[in-house]
Structure 1
Amino acid sequence: MSVSLATGADPDTLVVSGWSAVSPYGLGAEAFADGVREGQDGVRTVDAPDLGPYERAGRVPNFDIRTVLGRKGTRAMDRATALAVATAGMLLEQAGGGLAQDDPEAVGMVLGTGHGSVQSIMDFTRDSLTGERPFHVDPALFPNTVMNRAAGQSAIWHSLRGPNVTVAGGALTGLLALNYAARLLRRGHCEAVLCGAVEEFSTERAWLEYRARTGGPHQQPTGPLGEGCALFLLEPLGRARAHGRVPLASLLGSRFIAFHAPERAHEAVVRAVTEALKDADVRPDEVALLVPSDRGGPLGGREDAALASTFGEHQPPRLRLRRLIGDAGAASASLQLAAALTTTQADRPVVITSVDPDGQTGAVVLHAGPE
């Protein structure tokens, strides 16, 4: 392979030098890692009067916004924003080294989301329709209806003054955010990036997902939904070393392909994985782990078949996260990446794939392990 994390590796190699997550396993990277390694079921019976058509969901347990973040500045904060702010805080604390204090403009943020806070959008719209006047709404809640609320608030909360970007791309969102962050770094727009994705569970999202899956010509599995946030610190290897951070994985390659019909998903996945491996200069028989989106149904079957045909006789083990924590929507691919970092043997390549019913697929190749 052309890139490794061994001593003497190119200092411009982009590496993941820290990560954290909020998930159905609880707060922090350690809770998530333990849950994935032990194969714990993070999907539980929903203990609430009205959370939509699903009886079970992968919710972050006991996540109270004011308890986690304090009372100041949280009165009107939506759940998705709170998940992102909390995750960013844990990652920055773990990274240390004055990541944002020395030069706040050097650190950017790329955060993926599905639609922002669906609950906030629909609640605000409902209030404008049911109130005595359309403008009889709480203005403090309006910022929650904007898609970039979580990214912007996270940056403000933690004094990150570099580029601030919101990405939305369905199930692929986390991989697209990682790719966007890499482009920011390679073009010199910042020195380090917090990147990842967030998704909240709410009554409104549950009903929207349910109707989307059970209606139309291409019905999808209606398994339980999940929520969470995973963020990664992406920076050049030389910068990570200079600040005493141990690289966890290097980013070797990625590829994203669109397909116009569900029947073409197999071909698109094969092409995305094959081209990503070629970019990374990694042979299929060198890959130690596959982390597919595990969608289930016909689309998931095409993804699995595509991976089987791409790797031939060498079939790396597959880590299937969705069945453990539910469908985390826009946060799915970022949580897949976090799961890969917790289970992959050092000094081995790993491939993360995702496929979305809207007609896009992607693959990312990482080389796992410390220097």
Structure 2
Amino acid sequence: MAAGANGRTAHEAWVISGWAATSPYGLGADAFRAGVRAEQYAVRELPEQLRGGSPNGSGGWVPDFDIRAVLGRKGTRSMDRVTALAVSTAGMLLESAGPGLAEDRPEAVGLVLGSGHGSVKSIMDFTKDSMTAAQPHHVDPAVVPNAVMNRAAGLSAIWHTIKGPNVTVSGGALTGLLALNYASRLLEQGRAEAVLVGAAEEYSAQRSWLEHHSRADGTRQAAGPLGEGGVMLLLEPAERAAAYGRRAHAEVLASRFIAFSEPEGARRSLARAVTEVLKSADANPEQIRLVVPSDCGGPLGGYEDAALAEVLDGNRSRTVRLRSLIGDASAASASFQIAAALAHGGSAPAGDGLALITSVDPDGNTGCSLLRLAATAP
């Protein structure tokens, strides 16, 4: 069949054929699925090693996540938390995907990882050391890699022998949706045959203070509990997934991103993005059975809800509000929203179970992705 302008043939579909999560519910997709379905509140008092002068006493932190216990002692002496979250989540996904994904042709598998800043703690600690030590160069050189934003993506690929395209995406609350869109483009252009795509974010007092001050303008809900964790999805053509015996959990239909200049413009921008994504997928609002908004709170959260009410107009879809359960995962938020859609998948008839994931970022961007969920739950 002839390929279109974007290199994608008419019969090709990109599917999510595997996923893993490291979340405040614990390690693995099963723990996340159980917690989300039960609407379990996972924000709790911070342990002493994470508190460190944080403006909040509670957060959605990953329980019992000891880097050396999870990944072993080799290569983890100076590993930062966000890198460890990414490496371990990628490992869980590769294990569940079955043998051969990254071993047979490692150059055919790519990795796209969303990140806010990388490890905010490492960046700020390194800067502090350079200013307070006897000499500016009296710093720990082993920490230098942790202060680079693409550290987590690069080390995840090295750790798991993934030799295809390696990309770090940063886009605020929309990061997970942007990463998914980037991964789809890699497949469309033939740059990879399969892509691990997701996002990771760590909890630290440093990140907590940055978030606290960034919300002072009132565009988002006052600084509250933050979350952390990582999500990894396996995106590949449906035919490839079937050939390797992997089940398609969802098909990625389309994504749209539209900017706004003033907070009040968020409603119109998101409404337009949702309208366009439905048109692109040749779908209508009545087919949407699940909506997972960013639920960012404050005025922007209100604009997001108003846009959805306007476009869906009477649709009786189920709405899952994840932020109130696990905290604000910042750059990993949208990836967790996708995971929540997958966790709730399977409740709609085949071919009619559409899930809409939306996000609004205070820096002036809105976005959404549309998925067709599998007919049966995993």
So what's the TM-score if we normalise by structure 2? 0.94
CA RMSD after TM alignment: 1.3
In the alignment, the residues of structure 1 paired with residue 86 and residue 301 of structure 2 have an alpha-carbon distance, to the nearest angstrom, of 28
- Alignment partner, residue 197 of structure 2: 195
- Alignment partner, residue 358 of structure 2: 353
What's the CA shift for 1:370?
5.5
Tell me, yes or no, if the aligned pair for 2:218 and 2:298 is still in contact at 8 Å.
no
Task: Name the amino acid aligned to 1:236.
Answer: P
In the alignment, the residues of structure 2 paired with residue 38 and residue 178 of structure 1 have an alpha-carbon distance, to the nearest angstrom, of 27
Residue 110 (structure 2) pairs with residue 108 (structure 1): yes
In the alignment, the residues of structure 1 paired with residue 142 and residue 375 of structure 2 have an alpha-carbon distance, to the nearest angstrom, of 45
Tell me, yes or no, if the aligned pair for 1:112 and 1:168 is still in contact at 8 Å.
yes
- Alignment partner, residue 43 of structure 2: 43
Write out per-residue CA displacement over residues 94-123 of structure 1, whole angstroms, 9 at most, x where no aligned residue: 001410000000000000000000000000
Task: Name the amino acid aligned to 1:103.
Answer: R
In the alignment, the residues of structure 2 paired with residue 315 and residue 304 of structure 1 have an alpha-carbon distance, to the nearest angstrom, of 14
TM alignment of 1:241-320, pairs within 5 A: 241-320=242-321
In the alignment, the residues of structure 1 paired with residue 252 and residue 218 of structure 2 have an alpha-carbon distance, to the nearest angstrom, of 38
Task: Name the amino acid aligned to 1:100.
Answer: A
Task: Name the amino acid aligned to 1:351.
Answer: L
Tell me, yes or no, if the aligned pair for 2:219 and 2:300 is still in contact at 8 Å.
no
Residue 81 (structure 2) pairs with residue 79 (structure 1): yes
What's the CA shift for 1:229?
0.5
Tell me, yes or no, if the aligned pair for 2:220 and 2:300 is still in contact at 8 Å.
no
**Local SS of the residue matching 1:207:** helix
Tell me, yes or no, if the aligned pair for 1:97 and 1:244 is still in contact at 8 Å.
no
Write out per-residue CA displacement over residues 145-167 of structure 1, whole angstroms, 9 at most, x where no aligned residue: 00000000000000000000000
Tell me, yes or no, if the aligned pair for 1:249 and 1:370 is still in contact at 8 Å.
no
What's the CA shift for 1:50?
2.1
What's the CA shift for 1:55?
1.3
What's the CA shift for 1:220?
3.4
CA 1:217–1:56: 2 relative to 1, 3 Å: closer
Tell me, yes or no, if the aligned pair for 2:253 and 2:371 is still in contact at 8 Å.
yes
In the alignment, the residues of structure 2 paired with residue 219 and residue 36 of structure 1 have an alpha-carbon distance, to the nearest angstrom, of 24
Residue 368 (structure 2) pairs with residue 363 (structure 1): yes
CA 1:71–1:333: 2 relative to 1, 3 Å: same
- Alignment partner, residue 5 of structure 1: none
- Alignment partner, residue 232 of structure 2: 231
What's the CA shift for 1:47?
2.5
So what's the TM-score if we normalise by structure 1? 0.95
What's the CA shift for 1:45?
1.1
**Local SS of the residue matching 1:288:** strand
**Local SS of the residue matching 2:318:** coil
What's the CA shift for 1:62?
1.0
- Alignment partner, residue 3 of structure 2: none
Write out per-residue CA displacement over residues 205-246 of structure 1, whole angstroms, 9 at most, x where no aligned residue: 0011001112x3646332210001101000000100110001
TM alignment of 1:154-173, pairs within 5 A: 154-173=156-175
Task: Name the amino acid aligned to 1:54.
Answer: N
In the alignment, the residues of structure 2 paired with residue 111 and residue 241 of structure 1 have an alpha-carbon distance, to the nearest angstrom, of 25
- Alignment partner, residue 14 of structure 2: 14
Task: Name the amino acid aligned to 2:185.
Answer: R
**Local SS of the residue matching 1:367:** strand
Write out per-residue CA displacement over residues 66-121 of structure 1, whole angstroms, 9 at most, x where no aligned residue: 00000000000000000000000000000014100000000000000000000000
**Local SS of the residue matching 1:71:** coil
In the alignment, the residues of structure 1 paired with residue 80 and residue 375 of structure 2 have an alpha-carbon distance, to the nearest angstrom, of 36
Write out per-residue CA displacement over residues 148-190 of structure 1, whole angstroms, 9 at most, x where no aligned residue: 0000000000000000000000000000000000000000001
Task: Name the amino acid aligned to 2:296.
Answer: R
In the alignment, the residues of structure 2 paired with residue 298 and residue 135 of structure 1 have an alpha-carbon distance, to the nearest angstrom, of 45
In the alignment, the residues of structure 1 paired with residue 279 and residue 204 of structure 2 have an alpha-carbon distance, to the nearest angstrom, of 41
In the alignment, the residues of structure 2 paired with residue 115 and residue 330 of structure 1 have an alpha-carbon distance, to the nearest angstrom, of 9
Tell me, yes or no, if the aligned pair for 1:11 and 1:238 is still in contact at 8 Å.
no
Residue 330 (structure 2) pairs with residue 339 (structure 1): no
Equivalent pairs counted in the alignment come to: 362
- Alignment partner, residue 3 of structure 1: none
Tell me, yes or no, if the aligned pair for 1:246 and 1:370 is still in contact at 8 Å.
no
In the alignment, the residues of structure 1 paired with residue 190 and residue 375 of structure 2 have an alpha-carbon distance, to the nearest angstrom, of 25
